[in-house]
Homo-oligomer: A and B are copies of this chain.
Amino acid sequence: MPLPERRYVITFGCPDRTGIVARISSFLAEHGGWIVEAAYHTDPATNWFFTRQEVRADSLPFDVEELRTRFAEVARELGAHPGSWRVADSGERRRVVILVSKEGHCLYDLLGRVASHELDVDVAAVIGNHADLAGITRAHGIPFHHLPFPANDPEGKAAAFAQLRQLVDGHRPHAVVLARFMQILPPELCAAWAGRALNIHHSFLPSFVGARPYHQARSRGVKLVGATCHYVTADLDQGPIVEQDVIRVDHTDSVNDMVRKGRDIEKVVLSRGLRWHLEDRVLVHGNQTVIF
């Protein structure tokens, strides 16, 4: 599969008014920018405007830094604040750190996608609070760190989280993926990785928050089970939802059957969410997401 040509991706939000599209597209047009993909959205409830534009890098007469500098001017004009826009460069390879525990289905799935170049990213490291998944990780040529989180030992746990942060931040990852990592991140880590930490929760949120969602689902007698990929925030399982999906179950399905069927959904939901995040397709707005 040939790599697509290098692109700059502008994601942008500002209060809605007339002329925004004209201003941005004229800015690009006057420099010869070739827009490969463009999407717009306005949220009437909050009167907020969103756009994402993919521009061929070789169509512009300057580099990404110059594009950022010049676009900052346009953004200022349109009333955007510095945190509400970004210019990404597809030429910069995406780095991902994956956090795991014992359950391997999401990790196996991600590693398979990376190995077959479907997800064209660098997995900088896999970090597990158990060592079960060290073998498969290293078979893919990826470093695995075993970092135990002692139960009933708040100080030990805090130390482990500090070490986790150091390990992760050393890679400056574009995404920290909690691939069925069973530890709840402390608020300071949620804050440090805000907008970059993606969790897969094994239920169709807001149903069945917290532990053992398949047991909760079985006990409520639902006819579908699901999975939710969301950004991690300090409120457990309450962060902005990136993607969800469901699969049908029935009375013949034990909790174990639900777990098995649900895994297929967890895997695709997490990989879709991660892909969209890494392609700068996800714009967070309050507790909601716009997916371009």
Contacts and interface: CB of A to CB of B under 8 A. Distances in A.
A42 interface: yes
Which secondary structure characterizes the binding site on chain A?
A: mixed
A247 to B, nearest CB: 9
A21 B35 contact: yes
Given A25-B22, A29-B18, A221 B289 contact: yes
Contact of A21 (B21, B136, B223): B21
Contact of A108 (B35, B112, B220, B243): B112
A113 B107 CA distance: 11
Given A41-B251, A108-B112, A241 B263 contact: no
Query: For A223, A246, A291, which residue has the most chain B Cβ atoms within 10 angstroms?
Result: A223
Given A204-B207, A222-B241, A251-B288, A18 B40 contact: no
A22 B22 CA distance: 6
Contact of A136 (B26, B44, B139, B219): B139
A108 B103 contact: no
Interface string A165-204: 0000000000000000000000000000000000000001
Contact of A246 (B26, B43, B224, B290): B224
Interface stretch (A122-130, A153-161, A252-260): A252-260
A91 interface: no
CB-based closest 9 A-B pairs: A108-B112, A22-B29, A139-B139, A221-B288, A22-B25, A21-B25, A19-B29, A223-B244, A251-B290
